[in-house]
Amino acid sequence: MSDPLFILAVGIVIVVGGIIGLKLHPFLALLLGAFFVALLTPATAIEQFALAKGTAPAAAAALAQKNIGERIATEFGATCGKIGILIAMAAIIGKCMLDSGAAERIIRSVLRLTGIDKAPGAFLISSFFIGIPVFFDTVLFLMIPLAKAMTLRIGKNYLLLVLCVMAGGAMANSLVPPAPGPLFLIGEMKIPIGLMMIMGTLVGLCTITAGYFFALWANRRWPIPLRDSLDAKLDDLKAISDRDDHSLPPLGVSLLPVLIPIVFIMADTARASLIPAGGSSFFWDLVKFFGDKNIAIVSGGVAAMLLLVYQKRGSNASLTTFVSAALASGGSIILITAAGGAFGGMLQQTGISTRIADLTAGYQMALIPLAFLIAAVVRTAQGSATVALITASGILSGMATNANLDFHPVYLGLAIGCGSKLVPWMNDAGFWIICKLSNLTEREALKTISPLLVVMGLTGLVVILIAAKLFPLV
């Protein structure tokens, strides 16, 4: 009853069965799943989990003694702390860009540059390179409103555009520093950051190419229409798409709500890499302040609201009306995502990662597929790609620094990054963000987004095995 694998199975049945079978709201199903997982987890497992994270013994014992409600609320609040401001402000940016015509201006400019046929490819490449300096969820918040506007403009391929955004952002997040997971991985496995950036980009481009072909197939097999939502009603989008060019804001101004967060975060990333520890000046302190992801996205939100106010000047429309509609949509996403974080947090406290590590410790297999397998199993079990990266790199770091390897350790790191993409489902906060931002149902997401990442992850594994054989770099 206390085996983490059994507890995981119970959690899967409750969440998946509740949402798909009983038609429960995802928020309720995830909280129920978190409750039963927490109920079945013994105090000793919770204490061991905390100690393994480096928590002081007294604090670990105190965590084990907390009641179920407190532990769930703590994980719920921690997830809210990470994504609450981001989601709320991203919802405002998306709504303001749509209603001001900024998204429509960007889409018309992209279509003039690429043509309709190449627009999905432009979304794919843009999402990948935007995803290198910024967080994955930020890519979704910035790009999904553009996908909605593009779909209305060309009249088709909504699922294709959503999958292209997902594919690009997801692979950059796990393969290319300075994303948090790859940064931890290269430190643990002693991989040079420059080599990881180059190799991660090359492997990432191969994987998103495979993802693009899957997206084309899925779009033909399961065409999904653009649907009404609180923050993007189809009638409003249609009215914007019918506007003439002169009534839309200039392209440079339209890009500001997207570019401001990206530039601020990239500048802070460069500061952290170039400025030695303890080094400081007024300029770099300013870069650090605005480079915080929450401050950066708030800055983008301010730009979006100012743009909307300027475009709506002379009308009786109130900014409060637009912001309220955006927050009504964003609030629902925050609640569901935080509940998903609570469910994933309770699974982690069972010791599922350690259990998987024990199962694979004596498994004799080629190291690259083993690294991929460990990361994939941990990701599927507890939902977090970053935790999967950390767990797998911790298990394999000793082997990675072994001088007897026939290939450079960077290939192990890349295999872990690709394995951490498998398999997203209801215990993953990112799964809920993409569902709610794109208005896909849970069933639609499970048959499109989940296999998309499986295809890309497996493609990455094949590419890595071939590259390690042909170009061992040792």
What would the two tokens of residue 387 be? 């935790």
Can you tell me the distance from the alpha carbon of 400 to that of 190, in angstroms, rounded to the nearest whole number? 8
Q: DSSP H helical segments within 420-441, as ranges?
A: 429-438
Q: In the chain, what are the domain boundaries?
A: 80-180+202-333
Q: How many CB atoms lie within 10 A of CB 195?
A: 15
Torsion of CA 64, 70, 74, 76, to 10 degrees: 130
Residues in Cβ contact with 213 at an 8 Å cutoff, skipping those fewer than 6 apart: none
Specify whether the CB–CB gap between 103 and 69 falls below 8 A.
no
Residue-by-residue pLDDT tens, the chain, 474 positions: 677 878 878 887 887 778 767 777 778 888 888 898 888 888 888 888 888 777 788 888 888 888 888 888 888 888 788 778 877 887 788 778 777 877 777 777 777 777 777 888 888 887 887 777 566 776 777 778 778 878 877 778 889 999 998 898 888 878 887 666 676 677 767 788 778 878 888 999 999 999 999 999 999 998 888 776 655 566 666 665 666 677 788 888 888 887 888 788 778 877 777 776 656 777 888 888 888 878 888 888 888 888 888 887 767 667 777 788 777 767 777 787 788 778 777 877 887 767 766 665 555 447 788 889 888 887 887 677 767 776 677 667 656 655 567 788 889 899 999 998 888 877 777 788 888 778 888 888 888 998 999 999 999 999 999 998 888 877
Q: Smallest Cα–Cα separation from 30: which of 427, 449, 444, 433?
A: 427
Report the pLDDT value the prediction gives residue 205, as an integer from 0 to 100: 92
What would the two tokens of residue 210 be? 């495979």
Assign 233 to helix, strand or coil.
Answer: coil
Q: How far is CA 221 from CA 45, 124, 437, in A?
A: 45, 20, 22
To which H or E segment does residue 119 belong?
helix 119-130
Residues in Cβ contact with 70 at an 8 Å cutoff, skipping those fewer than 6 apart: none
Report the pLDDT value the prediction gives residue 178, as an integer from 0 to 100: 61
DSSP secondary-structure letter at 313? T
Report the pLDDT value the prediction gives residue 212, as an integer from 0 to 100: 94
Max distance between CA atoms of the chain, in angstroms, equals: 72
Report the pLDDT value the prediction gives residue 364, as an integer from 0 to 100: 41
Phi-psi bin for 243: left (phi > 0), alpha (psi -120 to 50), beta? beta
Matching residue, tokens 């604090």: 59
> CA angle at residue 450 from 266 to 361, to 5 degrees?
85
Residues in Cβ contact with 123 at an 8 Å cutoff, skipping those fewer than 6 apart: 143, 146, 147, 150, 161, 164, 165, 168
Assign 337 to helix, strand or coil.
Answer: helix
Peptide bond into 249 cis (omega under 30): no
